[in-house]
Structure 1
Amino acid sequence: MTTTRPTLTVLDDYQGVALTSADWGPVRESHDVVVLRDHLPDEDAVVAALEGSEVVVVMRERTPFPASTLARLPRLRLLVTTGMRNAAIDVGAATARGVTVSGTTGSSTAVPELTIGMMIALMRGFAPEDAAVRAGGWQHTIGPGLSGRTLGIIGLGRLGVPVARLAQAFGMRVIAWSPNLTPERARPHQVEAVTKTELFAQSDVVTLHLPLSERSRGLVGADDLARLRPTAYLVNTSRGPIVDEAALLEALQAGRIAGAALDVYEREPLPADDPWRSAPRTLLLPHIGYVTTDVYREWYGQVVEDVVAWRGGEPLRVVTP
């Protein structure tokens, strides 16, 4: 008598590294493992790909799991997300349907490092100079350095603090604002807490490090961008919807700010005809702030632990509504 083994599906493995980032042997003892590299564009595609899966592994917020999708996946019993916070999963709906949601922990310097790297690359014109050299040219752009400039950080938390430290190492003055930031909380980090208006008026570079929520959605609007000097830059490695994208695009096209470096967008992956693909004075990356070999080894290693623990009846790192 043959029995059908349950299936575990790994979603959105864009680089094709999920299976080499951890030892999946303990998982293969109980499950057939399927890896999907291409993004599933809509709910119907998600359901068609996962209707036979008992366990699904998701990479951050690349694929949404609202209540409507969960209702169409009756075989799903475990949903594992990298990270402990995933706004794309309706955890309450999953829990109500008897689906366990587990996550992974760990901190990384990947996003702060990328933030500083994007600042330098944008301000010094790395991308256009690289393209010019490859086309036979030589020296076309000029831009400011970091030392002596003012960095405005929106969100002085888990990611904002290390960004502040890195910026200070380059000789930058650092100011910060968030809805709950106080001078007392900012002072130990040698950061000056300012008002939101002051931050946009004083900053040479503004960088965002807040989670996406109903409070933060659209937090940076046209009025804020209008306070930036024409020589100022904006960097967003947080979430696209925190910034009014239409207002930012208009400010760039009108030349009212010097440039923007973006790793996140309202729609991901960006559609082929998205206006961001041709936006002027921009450095665009495909949401790779956390994408390093070190992070993936840690996350996928913990994914394996989550699956094995759940299979043993003692789920690890359970995400609750």
Structure 2
Amino acid sequence: MTSAAGTQGLRIAVLDDYQGVAHEFADWSRLEAAGAEVKAFRNHLGQDDDAVVDALAPFDVVVAMRERTPLTAARIERLPNLKLIVSTGRRNASINLKTTAARGIPVCGTGYLPSPAAEHTWALIHAATRHLDAELGGGGSGWTHDGGWQTTVGRGLEGRRLGLLGLGNLGSRAARVGLAFGMDVVAWSQNLTDEHAAEVGVQRVEKEELFATADILSIHLVLSKRSRGLVGAPELALMKPDAILVNTSRGPIIDEATLVEALNAGQIGCAALDVYDVEPLAADHPLRTAPRTVLTPHIGYVTYEQYEVFYRDAVEDIEAWAAGNPVRIMELPPK
């Protein structure tokens, strides 16, 4: 481990700095003045293990932006110089913590603001209900403004049913906004109780009722073995033909191929998505040309305020580890 004397000679990789702003939101010069080299990668390193390993092989420290570049067991094992991983946020399911623990590599997290993702949920809902053109690419939504004047008719929110798949921190925030709009808000998750739902001011319903009766169904679950693929063909078949499905959580919670089929068949009214199975979303991905979609490129958490927390804490994590006192260490989840 690096001595407490400083970061002399450390090579630090900052991954997936898509906007080229990492150095604007934190004082990396503190590390550089102590002898570290900081390199920010603006371009995604891709899905190929060899390409990722070749790019990261020289680095002692990797700063990951959320799950943009997974650090799997196979990749970590091939990075002999790796001594520290910093991940923005409080958890990162794409980092193999068993492998890092076996290698003695600390994984440190950062603070996280829940408000940006909850706010983006409502940006997607408004885009879908009022037919705003928020497409990521392609021209297949059928709702794209074509240069005419008032070519669509939107839908209001008051009196309609908002179904929440998950009523944790983010789901509760979404619920309060729905209630403020005068919506009928219901929720379901595997562990949700009537008492907790009542505390938020909403009604707990069974899963089947949630999907069958929601005008807008918004997902707010953590990706896990239980939630992966939770929204599949049976659930989509229950939904109203004009219902809107919103996902700002994690892509694999929805069976993506089945969703594409449902959209092409006109089975649901709209999918408003910020997250996908594989990111960045491929240029030829069928979602880009599927009808009735509102797509954004996983920007729910991308705000000035969030980046200030992420990058500031990342610098602090590296300094604390270099001094022999690592902070915000991510632990393996309980079995």
Asked whether 1:119 is paired with 2:125, we answer yes
2:260–2:290 CA contact under 8 A, matched in 1: yes
**What displacement does 1:25 show?**
2.4
**What displacement does 1:130 show?**
9.4
Moved more, 137-146 or 275-284: 137-146
Aligned to 1:27: 31
Equivalent positions of 1:142-221 (< 5 A) are: 142-221=153-232
2:90–2:112 CA contact under 8 A, matched in 1: no
- Rounded Cα–Cα distance in structure 2 between residues aligned with 1:256 and 1:64: 33
**What displacement does 1:212 show?**
0.7
Match of 2:243 among 218, 222, 232: 232
* CA pair 246-130 structure 1, distance change in 2 beyond 3 A: closer
2:321–2:327 CA contact under 8 A, matched in 1: yes
Aligned to 2:312: 301
Match of 2:9 among 5, 8, 25: 5
Asked whether 1:37 is paired with 2:46, we answer no
Asked whether 1:59 is paired with 2:69, we answer no
| Number of positions where the alignment pairs a residue of Structure 1 with one of Structure 2 | 316
**What displacement does 1:244 show?**
1.1
Aligned to 1:79: 85
**What displacement does 1:261 show?**
0.2
Equivalent positions of 1:242-321 (< 5 A) are: 242-321=253-332
- Rounded Cα–Cα distance in structure 1 between residues aligned with 2:327 and 2:45: 27
- Rounded Cα–Cα distance in structure 2 between residues aligned with 1:221 and 1:72: 36
**What displacement does 1:276 show?**
0.7
* CA pair 130-218 structure 1, distance change in 2 beyond 3 A: closer
**What displacement does 1:136 show?**
3.4
Opposite residue 40 of structure 2, the aligned amino acid is: V
**What displacement does 1:232 show?**
0.8
- Rounded Cα–Cα distance in structure 2 between residues aligned with 1:220 and 1:271: 22
- Rounded Cα–Cα distance in structure 2 between residues aligned with 1:154 and 1:266: 18
Match of 1:110 among 116, 120, 125: 116
**What displacement does 1:243 show?**
0.7
Moved more, 23-32 or 304-313: 23-32
Question: What 5-or-longer segments of structure 2 have no aligned partner?
Answer: 1-7, 134-140
Give per-residue Cα distances to partners, 1:189-226, cap 9 Å, x unaligned: 10100100010111100000111111110101111111
**What displacement does 1:89 show?**
0.3
Tell me the percent identity: 52
2:178–2:185 CA contact under 8 A, matched in 1: yes
TM-score where L is the length of structure 1: 0.96
SS in 2 for 1:53: coil
- Rounded Cα–Cα distance in structure 1 between residues aligned with 2:123 and 2:71: 32
Asked whether 1:94 is paired with 2:87, we answer no
RMSD: 1.4
Give per-residue Cα distances to partners, 1:206-259, cap 9 Å, x unaligned: 000111111110101111111111121100111111011122111111112111
1:234–1:259 CA contact under 8 A, matched in 2: yes
Give per-residue Cα distances to partners, 1:102-148, cap 9 Å, x unaligned: 0012333101110011001111111179953xx53211111211111
TM-score where L is the length of structure 2: 0.92
- Rounded Cα–Cα distance in structure 2 between residues aligned with 1:130 and 1:266: 24
- Rounded Cα–Cα distance in structure 2 between residues aligned with 1:94 and 1:154: 32
- Rounded Cα–Cα distance in structure 1 between residues aligned with 2:227 and 2:189: 10
